[in-house]
Structure 1
Amino acid sequence: MTSMLDGCTPWPEEFVDRYWAAGHWRGNTLDNLLRGWALQYGPRTALVRGGTRITYANLNRRADRMAAGFRLRGLRPGQRVVVQLPNVPEFVIVVFALMRLGAVPVFCPLSHRAAEVSHMVHVTQAVGYVGPSTYEGFDHTAMAAAVAAQGPFLRRVFTLEAQGATSAYGGLTVDASGCHYFPLGSIDAPAERALVRRAEQVAFFQLSGKATAEPPLIPRTHNDYAYQARAAAELVSLTENDVYLAALPAEFNFAFGCPGIVGTLSVGGTVVLVENSGPAACLPAIERERVTITSVLPAVARLWLDALATDHADLSSLRLVQIGGAPLHRAIAERIAPELGCPLQQVFGMEEGLLTLTRPADPDETVLTTHGRPLSPDDEIRIVDANGMDVPEGEPGELLARGPYTSRGYYRAPDHNAHSFTADGYLRTGDLARRTPDGNLVVTGRLSDVPRRADYGDRSGL
């Protein structure tokens, strides 16, 4: 795994061999997979946002041309670029374009401000930033300029212009620090010859959910993420007839690949993007686009259920609602099927990798009270006490995990790695869990010294 970026922890060779032999890893990059999806599903609708509809062929073509445009503006393979966008088609296009260029997107929550963005830029040595010009009254361009002024890395800022929006830096090409500014809409050039890259390379970085002053970054490889999204899509029997509502932030693992956006695109389905997870935006979108599957937090589900008392939206197209990211009270779980008219799937997951899910054929009691079983047959789970010893079956303890889509280390974070990973490669999740007699997992809380971010407002993610 020598082709991973310096600062990343590779899987040991014996595990690499195991995951290849099992067929989990297949050696294709995410951006190259998009080429295949475009050939197979070309005229089908890939992305929807409001009245905008983008076919698979158009999505692939725009990713191609934007990759060439980024290169024309000075980005190069191997460089890192912070991506901080709302749930708009440009998020998907930018991410695939950067991967196609060979650059590495760094997913950044839209709520983050200069301190957090600066941390991400400096850890990854990001040379580029992609964000809105302004969003909900906040000037992202000016923030990026402030980060660039700190030097020495950030030198390219690409902004998505909102209709009627202006920015303090909107008219500048280059500022006093030497940072160049470009409207994202201008990043377009004839497609170039495709790069040949390896699927064990880092596809993108996600931010850990750990509630620390400077959360570490997680490298996700093409191999591991393609497997995660594909396996999650297979588990819920996703097909080209499915329509996935991306109600939670696209940059979070739950919405991006559980199966989420990537899993839906992998089968030729349609992704509907909304910028707010509240019922006022989501319920009409479900009715209008005949959404079949979505992923939400418990708090969001409760808002939807309460809104249905007065909003009689037609949700009959729904066939599955995934709920995760926080404990789901049984009283809310019991309302899902009768009020939303579709089954519930409970999900426990984290950006670091591990996913456990209830199955469609599970008994009602299992779905209502557990987080199911690991996604992969090669997920290895341990539940241990404070001394790192396995607890008796059924007893609570800290959940440890390793597997074909669970990172072996954070990026350039040796102190975090020493605390968060065992010597034999298990991730210490910091979550308390127990196994039920039938083998399902129940996550009961967090260790007191390892909090996770708990409140993302309307843009929450797993």
Structure 2
Amino acid sequence: MREGCVPWPAPLAQEYRARGYWTDERLGTWPAPLPDAATRTAVVAPDRTLTYAELDRAADRLAAGLHARGIAPGDRVVVQLPNISAFVTLSLALFRLGALPVYALPAHRGAEIVHLVETSGAVAYAIPDEAAGFDHRTLAAEVLERTAGTGTLAHVLVAGDPGPYTALADVDADPVPLPAPDPLEPALFLLSGGTTGRPKLIPRTHADYAYQLRQTARLCGVGPDSGYLCALPAAHNFALACPGVLGTLRVGGTVVLAPSPSPEDCFPLLARTGASVTSLVPPLVPLWLEITKSTSCDISSLRLLQVGGSRLGPEAAQQVAPVLGCTLQQVYGMAEGLLNYTRLDDPEEVVVHTQGRPLSPGDELRVVDEDGVEVRPGGTGELLTRGPYTLRGYYRAPAHNRARFTADGFFRTGDLVRLTASGNLAVVGRINDVVNRGGEKVPAEEVEEHLLADPRIRAAAVIGLPDAYMGEQTCACVVPQHPDAPPTLEEVRAALTARGVAAYKLPDRLETGLAELPLTGVGKVDKKALAARYTAP
């Protein structure tokens, strides 16, 4: 493994090889020749459509062009591209070259990008010219200035008008033989999804990520006839590889890249392309359900809606099949590795009320209390995990690794879960997503679930705010179904009481002035932003 990466212990690595989890497959190559590559559609993007033959040729030429400009195997490239064709071609080119993409999210700005460049030692930074009204070339200038002392960043590659930088379209050369990357070496870096602190880099190898692609495509029934609508940012693990963009391409399906996850962008694409699978984060589901009732678009091709990133409440979950006319699949996982899915043939009770069970028979789970002792069956505790596609350590983060991993290599997820008798996980919340109200712990996600059962509330987030007497008070931030008639605090407390919620869990404060809940770059509710908004200066 490369410097800064933590390898799997040799006995486990041998076991994963022996059990067929790890093979010699490298990312960016198709496992078998496609006889109809010249006519089979690989990518439908806002800027262009590519057949498999065209995508293959474009990736080979781009890999050769990068090589000609001095980008070598092992070099890191920060990739901050929206859902356009260049995201796919550049990813495949880097995999084939053996250079490592560091996937930044579209919402990242100077602080995050500088951190990624400096931590990874990136030699190149790939951006669009403009996206969502923001000029990324201005951001590139800032990043170059702030990382000048690092001395590694030599290239800015731009999809579109390059300004003073290099057009990605000009990075082109006749294909040349390139050494095949070692499948046990890192192939890419994903980012940790925490809402506090700077993101940590997650090294994923060719072997472990290819295993994830194979397993998820098989479990989700994604094959050559499937179309995957990439509604979320493609740089996110959920949209990239669960099975997502890469898993769909690996089996010869069609990837449809949407400019945003809004129904206004996605519904016409579903109608036009007949895509059959897509992925959303929970805050988007009520919006899709609402717009479905009035849309003129034919979205009947959609057979599978994956929802992950945070817990989907049962009220919304129960509406997916009757309103959208497709199967709901709850997905609980993390870029660090472990993935859990409800299965396509699971009973409604499992799909609505749990977040599924592990992807791999090699996944190991522990549910432990505050002292690290395993809880009784059905008890709630922190989830610890290790397995054939779960990292053994963040990149260049030894101090952080000592806190997040046990001595025997289990990753401390920070998630509070309950393991059901059927082997499925029910996510209860985060260890740090608890309001400490006068010494009594109020689990935010539990209260949010009850709030969302109120027909007057479309979206809800529970946060803790400073309180001189209690230490923290519980604040419910809600998006009303009807902004001109929001519920009052007294009405909300009464409704929660009627549902059997304990008095100490009732909100002390109610905020109803939001049109939408703010989201982080990975689509989770940004509770840090909410706390800043409602904390008195």
Report the TM-score, using the length of structure 1 for normalisation: 0.92
- C-alpha change, 1:38 and 1:202, in structure 2 (3 Å) is farther
Given candidates 246, 258, 266, the residue that maps to 1:262 is: 246
Q: 1:280 aligns to what SS in structure 2? A: helix
Q: CA RMSD in A?
A: 2.0
Once the 2 structures are TM-superposed, how far is the Cα of residue 41 of structure 1 from its aligned partner?
4.2
SS of 1:34 mapped into structure 2 = coil
Where 2:30 maps in the other structure, the secondary structure is helix
Equivalent residue, structure 1, for 2:534: none
Match of 2:153 in 1: 154
Q: What amino acid is aligned across from residue 28 of structure 1 in structure 2?
A: E
Specify the code of the residue in structure 2 equivalent to 1:311.
T
Could you tell me whether the CA contact under 8 Å between 1:382 and 1:401 is conserved in 2?
A: yes
Partner residue of 1:210 out of 167, 190, 194: 194
Equivalent-residue separation in structure 1 for 2:286 and 2:339 (angstroms): 23
Change (3 A) 1:96 1:461: farther
Q: Determine helix, strand or coil for the equivalent of 1:295.
A: strand
> What secondary structure is seen at the aligned counterpart in 1 of 2:374?
coil
Where does residue 96 of structure 2 map in the other structure? 100
Note the alpha carbon deviations across 1:248-272, whole angstroms, 9 max, x for none. 0100010011011111111111000
State the shift of 1:140 in Å: 1.3
Match of 2:329 among 329, 342, 345: 345
Counterpart pick for 2:19 among 22, 29, 32: 22
Matches within 5 A, 1:159-238: 159-161=158-160, 170=163, 172=164, 181-238=165-222
1:175 alignment partner in structure 2: none
Distance verdict in 2 for CA 1:382–1:121, change over 3 Å: same
Seen in structure 2, the aligned counterparts of structure 1 residues 252 and 385 have a Cα distance that, compared at 3 Å, is same
8 Å CA contact 1:37–1:56 kept in 2: the answer is no
Residue 215 of structure 1: how far off its partner (Å): 1.6
Which residue pairs with 1:284 in the alignment?
Answer: 268
With over 3 angstroms needed to count, the CA separation of the structure-2 counterparts of 1:306 and 1:260, relative to structure 1, is same
Which structure has the greater CA radius of gyration?
2
Residue 382 of structure 1 aligns to which amino acid in structure 2?
A: R
Q: Which sections of structure 1, spanning at least 5 residues, go unmatched?
A: 173-180
CA–CA separation in structure 1 for the residues paired with 2:44 and 2:118: 34
The letter for the 2-side match of 1:427 is F
Matches for 1:327-346 after TM superposition, within 5 Å: 327-346=311-330
The answer to whether the 8 A contact 1:379-1:401 is kept is: yes
AA partner of residue 9 (structure 2): P
Q: Does 1:64 align with 2:60?
A: yes
Query: Mind listing any 5+ residue stretches in structure 2 that lack a counterpart?
Result: 435-443, 445-516, 526-537
Distance 1:279 1:383, change over 3 A: same
- Identity, % of aligned positions: 48
| 1:317-346: CA deviation from partner (whole Å, max 9, x where unpaired) | 111111111221111111100111111000
Structure 2: distance between partners of 1:396 and 1:49: 43
C-alpha distance in 2 between matches for 1:332 and 1:287: 23
Q: 2:2 aligns with which of 2, 5, 12?
A: 5
Q: 1:26 to 1:355 in 2, by over 3 A?
A: same
The aligned residue for residue 178 of structure 1 is none
Aligned length, in residue pairs: 442
Aligned residues of 1:278 and 1:458 also touching (Cα < 8 A): no
Paired residue type of 1:60: D
Distance 1:80 1:51 in 2: 26
**CA deviation profile, 1:157-193 (whole Å, cap 9, x unmatched):** 001116xxxx7xx1x3xxxxxxxx2111111110011
Aligned to 1:460: 523
Q: Residues 459 and 214 of structure 1: is their aligned pair in 2 closer, same or farther, counting only changes over 3 Å?
A: closer
TM-score, structure 2 normalization? 0.79
**Structure-2 residue corresponding to 1:369:** 353
Letter in 1 for 2:48: T
Contact 1:277 1:458 in 2 (8 A): no
Q: In structure 1, what residue type is equivalent to 2:326? A: C
Q: Which letter does structure 1 place at the counterpart of 2:523? A: S
Q: Supply the distance in 2 between the matched residues of 1:391 and 1:430 (Cα, whole angstroms).
A: 15
Q: Which residue of 2 aligns with 1:409?
A: 393
Q: What amino acid does structure 2 have at the position aligned with 1:61?
A: R
Alpha-carbon contact 1:160-1:183 (below 8 Å) kept: yes
